Amino acid sequence: MAEEKPAEKRLSIGKIYLKDFSFESPQAPDVFRQSDWKPQTDLNLRSSHTKIDDDQHEIVLTITVEAKESDKTFFLVELQQAGLFEISGYEGDELGAIIGSFCPNILFPYARETIASLIQKGGFPEFVLQPINFDALYFQTKQKQAAAQAEEAEKH
């Protein structure tokens, strides 16, 4: 009887691309006439996964940055940085960590550079997104899911 060989693990980047983006500056040109503006900046981050075929996966990192003061939005950037990844031989938690942490970590520098460029081209000062720990975010998501499952199990 022949032994089954474990599937060969493979992870590679097929393509990195900009899927969607928008930039809005609803207060322009008035915002540029202010001498001391100190907007509050909000950052929203999420990632999604679509399995294209057995080994091809599209990961989309969506980042929204909004700078506003009171009820006035100075700028709003929404960006979807995407990548096609070949992932094979991984299962369960290992596959989840690749999709939920490793791939978004690969995409983030591309998204960060594009966002910084868009904001500067919009006439605003340099904007630098700080590094994001996708491993910690993935771990927090897993903990929340486990807690929700445990809570659901207690109800039944």
Kindly report, residue by residue over 37-93, the tens digit of the pLDDT: 788 999 999 999 999 998 999 999 999 999 999 889 999 999 999 999 999 999 988
- pLDDT at residue 4 tops 70: no
Percentage with pLDDT > 90 across the chain: 71
Burial class (CB in 10 A: 0-12, 13-18, 19+), 153: exposed
End-to-end CA, the chain: 45
Q: Which of 135, 131, 17 is nearest to 83 (CA)?
A: 17
Give the class (CATH, top level) of 10-148: alpha beta
Task: Give the chain's mean pLDDT.
Answer: 91
Query: Which two tokens mark 49?
Result: 């996964």
Confidence category of residue 151, pLDDT binned at 50, 70, 90: confident
Q: Which residues, in sequence order, are CB contacts of 1 under 8 Å at separation 6+?
A: none
Domain ranges of the chain: 10-148
Query: 134-155 vs 103-121: helix axis angle to the nearest 10?
Result: 120
